[in-house]
Structure 1
């Protein structure tokens, strides 16, 4: 009997179980069971989830819902090996060292790569420093452990596959990882990684809210299963992958994955049109007293803001494109309007300090490069500034999560009268625009205008 190939995934969140695991499951449904997933996590926060998955032999139910409210339930079977967490990452290291583990993929969110505005690894970050001193906290430290053992065990090549919303994600992860190994002084492992791994660029897409107790209740009613770890997602799904796997891959093209030479056109459209707009709706919705993305987008002013940003600034900056960008805009906004997803503004608003430079600043810069003042795009960082202002004053309706947040320093900044100027001078957010007087003037006008609009909203009586 031939040993099955293993796709090891690091990051036991809902998105992986609604996305990559679904595609591998569809292959198994077609009769191709040559690959399965081993799932683990770097940090302890998923230990309970992993235990619950282990108790269910890795199986769980995925609920999907269309914009028309049609729900579908599917038992996902691709997770055949659950890797328990411990502080030494013993199970991840052991699995990742095996030659039949041919792909190691990961989802750690944009902030989990600790990159500067120039997309270089920021070795001053506390978590990176901890990794360099042997206390594994990040994907870099975890992979260094795993691949060190793999190299020692014989060194079979392996593909390292980033599944996060990071532009040029494979390339930038790889450069960051090699920088980390250099800072660690591990030239032997760096040479092995250079020769024996690839890191394809990818674009992943499926809206996947954090599961609520109601998901398990609906799963029970529809399937009779008492699932402790179900996942819920929209019906839409997309995966575009650079076909650059060094050790073989599943036949992903048989289940709708687009294998391409360059991910760039899909990646840019998704990051600027979908991801940036999603975050803007969450910040605006939070500031106007809404809890969910769909409710927020039904507010005429927020929908207008989203449409103008995409139409006036993003589409011109990405044209020409092999994609129909206007159609993509309309599909994205329809997905965000789905009243059955109930994706929270809290989830989507997170990690804004990484989202602004990665998802918004490129469009600001493109506008100035075209000789056009990016008025519509300026509203996005202006919303984020006002959102952070609410956070600093303790008046957000929820806890804000941001991997780049240095809370004490940011609260001090927002306590000063020049908080906006300090925000705009932050090169980590705005690159060279941080020194541009025209950009500062545009942003000051935009923030003031939004403050007036928000004040009017606050004074308008709520309607049923």
Structure 2
């Protein structure tokens, strides 16, 4: 092991490499070698091995093309990841990685669906993969399949060493993400009967909330050739991202942490205000417009913004439904909205609608439902939201019936398939508890209005998708 202080990351994707690893690179560039921090990145699932394998072959190094809406670009060499491990092939590497007092924190990006939360924010212990991991941890034998199983192995290793206190920082787009992970993981270890681990965690592990932001689309296949042409170096796994970045972390750390505040990261006691604005304006806007764009045959999100009608719908949704329901404002929300529209219009990023649209079943309660609920509670009928939600339903309906060609990925697609196989599929959708959490029962007039809008929207696309 080296003498450098270390972070570990679960879930090696373009976002992590363009965000957490990028920030650590910025910090390292200001420090002498002896004071630098480095990442050990850990792949958790066998189906995501391709990039980690390529990254390992390059000793963790790669290039990040950071590009502005006007096309100005810089190519940044990232060397803050110096180890890449594959726990999906050998879970024993977790113990070796975490049994090291140089490791101070774990960061996580496994997407919203990777937390297996139900509508009560409890971990779904009946999910086959979660139930499998409970057995693996109870027996201390086998291959985990979820974040919870790997995290349990990591914290068991920390529990048995001196100086094992560790910060576990989720960086996924979940409201109150740190507290929700702490609660769900606590339920997991109770199910696995790890009483002593739970007691140890109470004073040795923190789960700070965080808010993260940067658009990092799937890199184009030509990016490696472009890096070769521009820099004269071979890179099998470069990434692409916008020139905007933001990371807000709750000031609740169990151990040393890199001084990322010196390179633009915000440490605060009130992450909620930042995440609420970001999730509801940016992520909600992404969600709402992606399915309209898919129905209109668009490939990239900037095409949505350059469609005047869609841009107008999004502006109305933001200004009439979202911003008026955000009370705790850490910055000027209208100015923030305009920045987001500029970012969305970045044709040089060309963020794919396919990427943004995935996992909608788990995203809707996070990104959209709070806005709808708050509007109804204040007596405002969210007309713009209704129009856009109707397009989401229409997209799912046409996709499940095989009438639209779209590479849609969602671990909970079976839920939508059940709606579509009912005699009244729209009614089944409107009564889905995991989606609406009782809202339609409380405000039946909302459900009736949405039902009518779904009929109008479906009729509008009948000719196109016969």
TM-score by length of 1: 0.94
1:97 alignment partner, one of 96, 99, 120: 99
1:124-139 matched pairs, under 5 angstroms? 124-134=126-136, 135-139=143-147
For 1:394, the equivalent position in structure 2 comes to 402
Question: Is 1:353 aligned to residue 355 of structure 2?
Answer: no
The offset of 1:381, in angstroms, is 2.5
Count of aligned pairs between the two proteins: 456
Q: Deviations over 1:117-161 (max 9, x none)?
A: 221212122221121121411111110011112212346100000
- Partners in 1 of 2:432 and 2:312 — Cα distance? 28
1:63-212 matched pairs, under 5 angstroms? 63-134=65-136, 135-154=143-162, 156-212=164-220
Unaligned runs of 5+ in 1: 460-464
The offset of 1:97, in angstroms, is 2.5
2:283 alignment partner, one of 268, 275, 288: 275
Residue aligned with 1:27, SS: helix
For 1:10, the equivalent position in structure 2 comes to 10
Question: Is 1:261 aligned to residue 263 of structure 2?
Answer: no
For 2:293, the equivalent position in structure 1 comes to 285
2:244 alignment partner, one of 233, 236, 256: 236
- Partners in 2 of 1:83 and 1:14 — Cα distance? 16
- Partners in 2 of 1:309 and 1:316 — Cα distance? 10
Give the conservation status (yes or no) of the 8 Å contact 1:63–1:231: yes
1:306-321 matched pairs, under 5 angstroms? 306-321=314-329
- Partners in 2 of 1:97 and 1:374 — Cα distance? 52
The offset of 1:445, in angstroms, is 2.2
For 1:428, the equivalent position in structure 2 comes to 434
Give the conservation status (yes or no) of the 8 Å contact 2:94–2:153: no
- Partners in 1 of 2:298 and 2:215 — Cα distance? 19
1:376-391 matched pairs, under 5 angstroms? 376-391=384-399
- Partners in 2 of 1:234 and 1:41 — Cα distance? 25
With over 3 angstroms needed to count, the CA separation of the structure-2 counterparts of 1:118 and 1:86, relative to structure 1, is closer
Give the conservation status (yes or no) of the 8 Å contact 2:44–2:86: no
Residue aligned with 1:181, SS: helix
The 10-residue stretch of structure 1 (124-133 or 305-314) with the greater mean CA deviation from structure 2: 124-133
- Partners in 2 of 1:395 and 1:331 — Cα distance? 36
For 2:140, the equivalent position in structure 1 comes to none
For 1:411, the equivalent position in structure 2 comes to 417
Residue aligned with 2:21, SS: helix
Residue aligned with 1:21, SS: helix
Residue aligned with 1:133, SS: helix
For 1:24, the equivalent position in structure 2 comes to 24
The offset of 1:51, in angstroms, is 2.3
Give the conservation status (yes or no) of the 8 Å contact 2:44–2:87: yes
Return structure 1 stretches of 4+ with deviation > 6 angstroms.
none
With over 3 angstroms needed to count, the CA separation of the structure-2 counterparts of 1:191 and 1:404, relative to structure 1, is farther
For 1:219, the equivalent position in structure 2 comes to 227
- Partners in 2 of 1:267 and 1:428 — Cα distance? 22
For 1:462, the equivalent position in structure 2 comes to none
Q: Deviations over 1:6-65 (max 9, x none)?
A: 100011111000000001001111125431100011111232322221221211000011
The offset of 1:427, in angstroms, is 1.2
- Partners in 1 of 2:253 and 2:399 — Cα distance? 43
Residue aligned with 2:343, SS: helix
TM-score by length of 2: 0.94
For 2:139, the equivalent position in structure 1 comes to none
- Partners in 1 of 2:156 and 2:328 — Cα distance? 44
